[in-house]
Amino acid sequence: MRASYPRTPHLPWSPGTSADDVRAVGLSGLAGREVVVTEKLDGENTTLYTDGLHARSVDSAHHPSRTWVKALQGRVGARIPAGWRVCGENMYARHSIPYDELDGYFYGFSVWDEHDRCLGWDETVRFLRALGVPTPPMLWRGVFDERALRRLRVETGRQEGYVVRTVEGFARDDFAGRIAKWVRPGHVTTDTHWMHAAVVENGLGPRAALWAVRSGADPDARALAGYVGVGTAHGEGGDDADAHTDADAAAETGARLAALGRGGEARLAGVLAALLHRTPRRR
């Protein structure tokens, strides 16, 4: 069963509301509970299933900016249990805020099980990491404290805002009371504009190579070696033939692990071990 993501209410002090937005009616669902605050990313709301995906609208049509996330779903879909869904932001296309150091083009922020219940935050992070999907940067965590949240500093030139949710899970019927957002003043909803203009691709950072392997993508040997600091895929003193051999070994290991249904840290560890087996242990 497909389900669109609910509309997230604005916190009472959120300045970036528009005429059709909803505001939280009281904060009793957050009061006294442990909450986590994560950065609100400026992307396209997208939901992944074991057998497909859609944008915010369940019947969303094709768009060039959705090609990458469709490939991601193809890699991770078999590891999403039947009846579950993964909700997040498709960050491939630039909207109002440019990004140059993304960990990937899809960030997950909630996972829902077959009973339409949102998993707790810690369980969500573990599940998504095993899937090979990063989560938005965490800005704050603790027992709900309105004064502390009001004091949060958002760099409005590069951040859209933040989302606060309870650490414990909740049913869909409780969504409006367990999650709320703060959006920067003057943030423009640019869906119509960016979807009818040429796609401008956001930029990936060095950690994207790690997340790609976790998700089941072919290893980028040069990027992985550069990230771990060996400079080349075979360490210092090797030659091009060695580099190709190590890259091939990493690709073969990644393919074998993928065939066994292994993703996340297990696949990353295997790929790195194959890639760096020629590197001196001390290094």
Q: Which residues contact residue 280 at a Cβ distance below 8 angstroms, ignoring those fewer than 6 apart?
A: 235
CATH number of the domain located at residue range(s) 34-195 in this protein: 3.30.470.30
> What pLDDT is attached to residue 56?
82
- Of the two residues 38 and 243, the one the predictor is more confident about is 38
Using a 10 angstrom Cβ sphere, with 0-12 exposed, 13-18 middle and 19 or more buried, the burial of residue 126 is middle
Mean pLDDT, to the nearest integer, of 170-199? 82
End-to-end CA distance of the chain: 50
**Beta pairing, strands 138-143 & 34-40:** antiparallel
CA distance 84 to 2: 10
Give the pLDDT band of residue 13 (cuts 50, 70, 90).
very high
C-alpha pair distances (Å), 112 with each of 3, 84, 126: 10, 5, 14
Mean pLDDT, to the nearest integer, of 44-65? 89
Predicted TM-score (pTM) of this structure: 0.92
Which H/E stretch holds residue 9? none
Domain boundaries, the chain: 34-195, 208-275
The residues that bridge with 118 in the sheet, in sequence order, are 112, 170
> What pLDDT is attached to residue 233?
45
Give the pLDDT band of residue 188 (cuts 50, 70, 90).
low
Q: Residue 34's closest CA among 111, 144, 145?
A: 144
> What pLDDT is attached to residue 21?
83
> What pLDDT is attached to residue 231?
60
Q: Residue 249's closest CA among 261, 231, 234, 228?
A: 234
